[in-house]
Amino acid sequence: MIIDGMADRPMKELEGKTPLEVAETPNMDRMAKIGINGIMDPIQPGIRAGSDTSHLSILGYDPYQVYTGRGPFEAAGVGVEVHPGDIAFRCNFSTANDKGIITDRRAGRIREGTKEIAQAINGLHLEYGVQVIFKESTGHRAVLVLRGGNLSDQVSDADPKYEGNPPKQVVAIDGSEDANKTAKLLNELIQKSYKILKDHPVNLERIKKGENPANIILPRGAGAVPEVQPFQEKYGLRSACIAETGLIKGIGNITGMDLIDVDGATGGVDTDLDSITTSIVSTAAQDYDFLLINIDGADEAGHDGNLEEKVDFIKRVDSVVGKVMELDNAVFILTADHSTPVAIMDHTGDPVPLAIKGPAVRVDDVNSFSERAAANGGMCRIRGSDVMNMVMDLTNRSTKFGA
């Protein structure tokens, strides 16, 4: 169970304490008390991990090997079945005028009708036998996957970043033939999307209502879908992923986990924690060996620089921890994927606390769950890449190396 971005740095406002240290967390503290504790570097000491690279590392995948960019994980996260070699992009639905200038990068923050619009792009066939897979995500976001034709992810972004400009010409970053071909196809697809979408019924309706139409797509964050050994094949564990955000669902999807949909999960501090709890308990009752749980609100509060909300969310998520602790016969690992200090409003490379509860662990003297208390624990300091090996061993599933 990964409480996204929960860890923090000492804050003046809290007299040198961290949000996790001041939040009332009786259940997490009980985890610390009945478990073994330590600090964990998701990747390496001082390396500032993203949520995606951290989760990959914790699941035993080397992010330096498999992380090719955000595109593939976003695409997998909205349920596109990506294949190794596919080139995936994050996209915006945007508004262009008839001179080709982007007048609204987020198409009036469109929320409805994107599914219909996406269907008008999805399934297109391009030169070189390339197939277009296009799917809406939340709001003005979408994902684009190009399949076939030996394309490359070494291409630049089309998003001009500021309104009043035309889409940026996509170019090959490495100058390779494959990348040139990919850039050419993308530039053509962007123009084509305008032609297809400008008179789409959803957009005609939006224009009638005075809303900006979603009449062009702007891809960015190209990544080649990596060759990832399925989690079940790697560990022999039937696994499910209970996550709120597309990015983490993408990690679950790309590693072949079952994705559990959770009603009311927003990925924010307003998420429905009761619904998440129910979902965890009912999934655990099914025939799974391993659950990956990610709850995102603390990270959002950190990115927003909102101390009060971060402390409050940690306090509320503590009750979810309490329920998960009741699951018998489970090795339960509580941690964060990185620190998102309120004062920094972004991830930092500080280590995160980690507690493991289970019949086999060497219970230590730590009595509270926090960044500092954990450093005195029986696990000392480990890396994200150690976690799955420890899980396998603590559940007596590890393979002996040697005689």
List contacts with a second copy (CB under 8 A): 9-10, 16, 18, 39, 43-54, 63, 67, 70, 73, 247, 341, 344, 346-350, 360-364, 371-372, 375-383, 386-394, 396, 398-403
Closer residue to a second copy, CB minimum distance, 294 or 348: 348
Nearest approach, Cβ of 271 to a second copy (angstroms)? 19
Closer residue to a second copy, CB minimum distance, 101 or 363: 363
Nearest approach, Cβ of 204 to a second copy (angstroms)? 35
3-state secondary structure at position 47: coil
Nearest approach, Cβ of 373 to a second copy (angstroms)? 10
Closer residue to a second copy, CB minimum distance, 264 or 358: 358
Closer residue to a second copy, CB minimum distance, 91 or 132: 91
Q: Which residues are registered as beta bridge partners of 130?
A: 126
Task: Give the span between the Cα atoms of 92 and 69, in whole angstroms.
Answer: 17
Q: Please, what sign has the CA dihedral across residues 170, 174, 176, 179?
A: negative
On the CB side of 139, CA atoms within 13 Å amount to 10
Tokens representing 360 are 């086999």
Closer residue to a second copy, CB minimum distance, 42 or 113: 42
Nearest approach, Cβ of 221 to a second copy (angstroms)? 8
Task: Give the span between the Cα atoms of 220 and 160, in whole angstroms.
Answer: 10
Closer residue to a second copy, CB minimum distance, 205 or 365: 365
Q: Look at strands 36-41 and 2-3 and give their pairing.
A: unpaired
The enclosing H or E element of 52 equals helix 51-58
Nearest approach, Cβ of 180 to a second copy (angstroms)? 27
Closer residue to a second copy, CB minimum distance, 8 or 104: 8
Q: What is the CA radius of gyration of the chain?
A: 23
Task: Give the span between the Cα atoms of 218 and 137, in whole angstroms.
Answer: 14
Closer residue to a second copy, CB minimum distance, 238 or 381: 381
Q: Look at strands 332-335 and 352-357 and give their pairing.
A: antiparallel
Task: Give the span between the Cα atoms of 93 and 107, in whole angstroms.
Answer: 6
Nearest approach, Cβ of 148 to a second copy (angstroms)? 26
Amino acid at 354: L
Nearest approach, Cβ of 269 to a second copy (angstroms)? 20
Nearest approach, Cβ of 181 to a second copy (angstroms)? 27
Tokens representing 123 are 């399934």
Amino acid at 282: S
Q: What are phi and psi of 345, to 5 degrees?
A: 60, 25
Going along 97-193, which residue ranges are E strands?
A: 102-104, 125-126, 130-136, 141-147
